[in-house]
Amino acid sequence: MSPIPGLADVGLLGGGVIGGGWAARFLLNGVDVTLYDPDPEAPRKVGEVIANARRAYASLTMAPLPAEGSLRFVATPEEAVVGVDFVQESAPERLDLKQSILMRASAAADPSVVFGSSTSGLLPTQIQTGMHHPERLVVGHPFNPVYLLPLVEICGGEATSEAAKTRAAEVYTAIGMRPLVLGKEIDGFVADRLLEALWREALWLVNDGVATTEQIDDAIRFGAGLRWSFMGTFLVYRIAGGEAGMRHFMAQFGPALQWPWTKLMDVPELTEDLLDRLVAQSDDQAAGQSIRELEALRDDCLVAVMQGLRTVGYGAGEVLADYERALFDRAPAPVAVGDLTQPFKVHEIRIPTDWVDYNGHTNDSRYAQLSGDAADAFLRYIGVDADYLRGGHSYYTVESHISYLAQSHAGDVVYVTSQVLSHDAKRLHLFNRMHRSDDNTLIATGEHMYLHVDTNEGRTVPAPQYMIDRIAVIADGQAALARPPQAGRFVGAPR
Amino acid sequence: MSPIPGLADVGLLGGGVIGGGWAARFLLNGVDVTLYDPDPEAPRKVGEVIANARRAYASLTMAPLPAEGSLRFVATPEEAVVGVDFVQESAPERLDLKQSILMRASAAADPSVVFGSSTSGLLPTQIQTGMHHPERLVVGHPFNPVYLLPLVEICGGEATSEAAKTRAAEVYTAIGMRPLVLGKEIDGFVADRLLEALWREALWLVNDGVATTEQIDDAIRFGAGLRWSFMGTFLVYRIAGGEAGMRHFMAQFGPALQWPWTKLMDVPELTEDLLDRLVAQSDDQAAGQSIRELEALRDDCLVAVMQGLRTVGYGAGEVLADYERALFDRAPAPVAVGDLTQPFKVHEIRIPTDWVDYNGHTNDSRYAQLSGDAADAFLRYIGVDADYLRGGHSYYTVESHISYLAQSHAGDVVYVTSQVLSHDAKRLHLFNRMHRSDDNTLIATGEHMYLHVDTNEGRTVPAPQYMIDRIAVIADGQAALARPPQAGRFVGAPR
């Protein structure tokens, strides 16, 4: 059974950098992939992209990814599409080649199966010409690396049905992407026209000796590029316009469009001299790093940026959070905690990027936070939820003791277990163990005393009986557990 | 004494969004600011930018920021520059206006003081015309929000000296920025030419009804914009070219420059109809969020992205880490109170808004952070600074005990004192008291045991004698102090 309803198998036509990226994204989402590429090197190249993707997904999310799909290479376009639920074409950017492959594949596929084309510039009306059931062809234009970047532009041709666009958007969303459905068919669609405009100007700056490739890249990544990772150019300018609004901004900066920044209007000739300079400057910039090293650096940065934005719940961070919720929804129900005699796993997180100091270690106070968050989860389990708090009762922390045993770093997955050391109607004495998830190393322990309080009157009162009973079930189950060596320690106690 | 050598005071000419951003960045880095702006609303506007910046810096870094500089508004350009160490001009983008202000200010300033101009498009050769000592004028072009984005383009005019460019780069680096020194003077410099190229194409897409402002923004922020936050367009394309290299990439994609994406070649006329559509689409996109809300969202995202990149140590994350190291280097030793027989005041802050839970109380784990930050300040006082850490030695926390005695709220100013309970060559046993500053209420105590370690070998080693001696001076002075009642407590000990 597929983890994504109606998406068990896909057929891929083409296995270059883009086709390999699609293969990786589908496989890591539990979808089986059948891939056609005439290049005998395709299995190696696709394998390298999948290896990169596996590495990135290992740190991208803690949500439960399904079991990886299976990958099969076939010798013809027809074999790639028989019996599949969706087809994605990523052949080289030559119209005749795409038309020929799609004609053959569409004759073999079930008529209801939707085809996406990865073309970055060819029009869907041209691409669908000659297809069997051309109404099911949409452009689904992704961005490199396909397994990480959320954007996919969906664009239909004259013959394309609305149903095909809807189906393609469903498929892409299910594998964690963010479809942008365009209303008009246009050369270069939207994103590549914007990229191309910027790149053309960048080539002029190199051509005219104004800046090197590295300086141009720095001018992007230390400035506007940081903003563009979560807000596009229009929203950024709206903010720049301030309270006076967008019309005021246009009045102020619109005239600059007519200023003598004239090289925008022309295309630099790609002379041998310009190419030599581009290549030499690019080599300097790479400073000996291989493409594999640069790919890993790029993916690490993308993961870090998307995880950072997830803490804000905005842009690509919102896409990631939605994707993770869907993964949780599709995950099998957690096995009921059978063994109540053991410390109770209450909390698991990935160390966030803002928990570490500049040398990468988790700051010591964050272990107090981690243990406190775990205790909050324990309290929710016994009934201290938002409604209960609104009702004017809570548990307040009286004292805490943290023992630091090993280091952790941003990106580490850690889990926390709770053990009830003692309790009565008013008191709850918890002992938490913090572990790295990869090897179960105990990195810290937290011991906390809580008092049940009436928050309006600010005094200690007994907890309700049902809550005491829930604590008792856990405490009784754990009664045979040894007292942890860190429990009852005072700071400086002999070991 | 200034926390940045040779940068105690700056004069700012102009206090709009950009001038206010400069004010915030200098003030938060402990530099005193004198600001001239004829707009009677300037103090309010600048105050709002500073409030935004304070909010962002409260979560940007755990490194010790210096005490905020003081801000003074003056009525003339001359008053703004007398006695200052650096001048930044951010007047409106009118050449005659900038020339007039700079002529007056440069006549009043010390001849050795360097002037930066925030112009985004005017040429330094024109701007410096008429200045006294024009050789000290450079363009120092920042990006909004100035207090967070690292990029500043430095560009000299015909009269500009190399020394002025060097000095400007030093000043900008000292306040956490990343200078990009351009070799050629050109309209729009580098970054704005790239932004303008993209924006011009974006306007065409709206003009032609291909996409809305929101769709265009989505095409950036879910795709290439994520990459641009750490790698510019050339390095991204180098990777896309794969093992075959940059020349191959150009052969493959260079011809696309000549494809019929012709709107690049022309400028859309800003008709009333186009302006109406831009404004309406931008309003839809903002969905009722005010500029203040959008600014806060933008700043939260920028902080999150830079913190994410810091974990990778790349791009703006590397700039942030370097800045934090410098902050540690410049962190002032705590002011030695005259009375060494008392607990030692090491730390004082205002409780940030993200430290409190839903009911407005400071979250319990934040007391651990507060006590830990105070201990860091104590350690810096005895010589554990950035150089010492780089040298491979540090104090590691072994265990902590926190007693929670009273509540505090966002906005409360709190201070922390340290008492040395015991120490030897390898161990340091500290007891911290956290007080509200308004009424000296003791709100929490923190007890910590530290071990001096060789961080490379990961084992305990004796601290150097000078460090032990510094601890001993404090410990001996405090020898007669009573042992605090919370010291030596274990969790759940009888009271």
pLDDT in tens, B153-168: 999 999 999 999 999 9
Helix intervals (H) in A61-161: 77-81, 95-108, 124-127
Cβ <8 Å between A491 and B492:
no
pLDDT at residue B361, rounded to an integer: 82
Cβ <8 Å between A491 and B190:
no
Q: What is the pLDDT confidence band of residue B369, given thresholds at 50, 70 and 90?
A: very high
CA–CA separation, A381 and A417 (whole Å): 13
Cβ <8 Å between B239 and A144:
yes
User: Is residue B173 domain-shared with residue B213, that is, in the same domain?
Assistant: no
Which residue in chain B has the smallest CA separation from A297? Answer: B312
**Closest by CA position to B277, among listed B216, B221, B231:** B216
**Backbone torsions φ then ψ of B479, nearest 5 degrees:** -60, -30
Cβ <8 Å between A308 and B312:
no
pLDDT at residue B308 tops 50: yes
Which residue in chain B has the smallest CA separation from A401? Answer: B401
Q: What is the mean pLDDT of residues B221-245?
A: 85
3-state helix, strand, coil in chain B (%, to 5): 45, 20, 35
The rounded average pLDDT for each run of 10 residues, N- to C-terminus, in chain A (495 residues) is: 76 95 96 97 93 86 81 97 97 94 97 96 94 98 95 97 97 94 88 87 82 92 93 84 72 60 52 76 79 84 88 86 77 52 85 77 91 88 82 92 92 91 96 94 96 92 94 91 90 83
Q: How many angstroms separate the CA of residue B248 from the nearest CA in chain A?
A: 10
Q: Which residues of B touch A151 (CB under 8 A)?
A: 218-219, 222-223
CB atoms within 10 A of CB A14: 27
Cβ <8 Å between A259 and B188:
yes
Structural domain ending residue among the three candidates A161, A189, A217: A189
Q: Which residues of A touch B316 (CB under 8 A)?
A: 221-222, 226
pLDDT at residue B29, rounded to an integer: 93
Question: Which residue has better confidence, A427 or B239?
Answer: A427
Q: Which residues of B touch A46 (CB under 8 A)?
A: none
Whether A319 is covered by a domain: the verdict is no
User: Is residue B132 domain-shared with residue B204, that is, in the same domain?
Assistant: no
Contacts (Cβ under 8 Å, ≥6 apart) of A41:
none
Q: Which residues of B touch A237 (CB under 8 A)?
A: 199
Which residue in chain A has the smallest CA separation from B186? Answer: A210
Whether B90 is covered by a domain: the verdict is yes
Beta pairing, strands B137-142 & B115-117 = parallel
Cβ <8 Å between B218 and A236:
no
Q: What is the pLDDT of residues A323-347, one digit of tens each?
A: 877 776 776 543 335 567 888 888 8
Residue of B48, B118, B154, B193 best to disrupt the A interface, most CBs of A under 10 A = B193
Angle B362-B364-B365 from CA coordinates, rounded to 5°: 110
**Backbone torsions φ then ψ of B248, nearest 5 degrees:** -65, -40
Contacts (Cβ under 8 Å, ≥6 apart) of A476:
none
pLDDT at residue B73 tops 90: yes
User: Is residue B372 domain-shared with residue B423, that is, in the same domain?
Assistant: yes
CA–CA separation, A178 and A326 (whole Å): 14
User: Is residue B164 domain-shared with residue B96, that is, in the same domain?
Assistant: yes
Which residue in chain A has the smallest CA separation from B248? Answer: A279
User: Is residue A353 domain-shared with residue A461, that is, in the same domain?
Assistant: yes
Cβ <8 Å between A151 and B121:
no
Residue of A293, A384, A400, A412 best to disrupt the B interface, most CBs of B under 10 A = A400
pLDDT at residue B306 tops 60: yes
Q: How far is CA A239 from CA A243, A245, A405, B144, B393, in A?
A: 8, 8, 47, 9, 46
Q: What is the mean pLDDT of residues B408-430?
A: 92
User: Is residue A224 domain-shared with residue A95, that is, in the same domain?
Assistant: no
Q: Which residues of A touch B489 (CB under 8 A)?
A: 399, 490
pLDDT at residue B290, rounded to an integer: 80
Structural domain ending residue among the three candidates B169, B189, B209: B189
List the CATH number of the domain containing A237. 1.10.1040.10
**If you count them, how many residues does chain B have?**
495
- Angle between helical axes of A316-330 and A291-312 (0-180°, round to 10): 90
Whether A330 is covered by a domain: the verdict is no
Whether B493 is covered by a domain: the verdict is no
Q: Which residues of A touch B275 (CB under 8 A)?
A: 247, 250
Question: Would you state the structure tokens that stand for residue B164, as one six-digit string?
Answer: 């002025």
pLDDT at residue B114, rounded to an integer: 98
Q: What is the pLDDT of residues B324-335, one digit of tens each?
A: 888 877 766 655
Are B132 and B106 a contacting pair, CB within 8 Å? yes
pLDDT at residue B109, rounded to an integer: 97
**Closest by CA position to B120, among listed B49, B174, B194:** B194
User: Is residue B415 domain-shared with residue B340, that is, in the same domain?
Assistant: yes
Nearest by CB to B368, from A226, A266, A368: name it: A368
List the CATH number of the domain containing A65. 3.40.50.720
Give the total number of structural domains in chain A. 3
pLDDT at residue A335, rounded to an integer: 36
Mean pLDDT, chain B, as a whole number? 88
Q: How many angstroms separate the CA of residue A305 from the nearest CA in chain B?
A: 5
List the CATH number of the domain containing A444. 3.10.129.10
pLDDT at residue B121, rounded to an integer: 83
Structural domain ending residue among the three candidates B253, B288, B323: B288
Q: Could you list the residue range(s) of the whole structural domain that residue B242 is in?
A: 200-288
Nearest by CB to A17, from B240, B245, B321: name it: B240
Which residue in chain B has the smallest CA separation from A48? Answer: B242
Contacts (Cβ under 8 Å, ≥6 apart) of B283:
A246
Q: Which residues of A touch B242 (CB under 8 A)?
A: 17, 291
Whether B153 is covered by a domain: the verdict is yes
Residue of B147, B180, B198, B387 best to disrupt the A interface, most CBs of A under 10 A = B198
Angle B314-B318-B322 from CA coordinates, rounded to 5°: 165
CA–CA separation, A488 and A428 (whole Å): 14
User: Is residue A13 domain-shared with residue A152, that is, in the same domain?
Assistant: yes
Cβ pairs bridging A and B (under 8 Å): 514
CA–CA separation, B237 and A388 (whole Å): 55
User: Is residue A267 domain-shared with residue A409, that is, in the same domain?
Assistant: no
pLDDT at residue A257, rounded to an integer: 57
User: Is residue A156 domain-shared with residue A242, that is, in the same domain?
Assistant: no
* Strands (DSSP E) found in A273-412: 344-350, 393-404
CA–CA separation, B244 and B267 (whole Å): 37
Whether B309 is covered by a domain: the verdict is no
User: Is residue A183 domain-shared with residue A255, that is, in the same domain?
Assistant: no
Q: Which residues of A touch B360 (CB under 8 A)?
A: none
**Backbone torsions φ then ψ of A117, nearest 5 degrees:** -110, 130
DSSP codes, A229-247: TTS-HHHHHHHHHGGGHHH
**If you count them, how many residues does chain A have?**
495
Cβ <8 Å between A194 and B193:
no
pLDDT at residue B354, rounded to an integer: 67
**Closest by CA position to A393, among listed A449, A466, A461, A450:** A461
Q: How many angstroms separate the CA of residue A107 from the nearest CA in chain B?
A: 31
Whether B313 is covered by a domain: the verdict is no
Which residue in chain B has the smallest CA separation from A369? Answer: B365
Cβ <8 Å between B399 and A398:
no
Q: Which residues of A touch B215 (CB under 8 A)?
A: 180, 182, 190
Q: How many angstroms separate the CA of residue A93 from the nearest CA in chain B?
A: 10
pLDDT at residue B188 tops 90: no
Nearest by CB to A363, from B199, B295, B372: name it: B372
**Backbone torsions φ then ψ of A482, nearest 5 degrees:** -65, 150
User: Is residue A28 domain-shared with residue A151, that is, in the same domain?
Assistant: yes
Whether B70 is covered by a domain: the verdict is yes
Q: What is the pLDDT confidence band of residue B263, given thresholds at 50, 70 and 90?
A: very low
Are A316 and A150 a contacting pair, CB within 8 Å? yes
Cβ <8 Å between B264 and A200:
yes
Q: How many angstroms separate the CA of residue B109 from the nearest CA in chain A?
A: 31
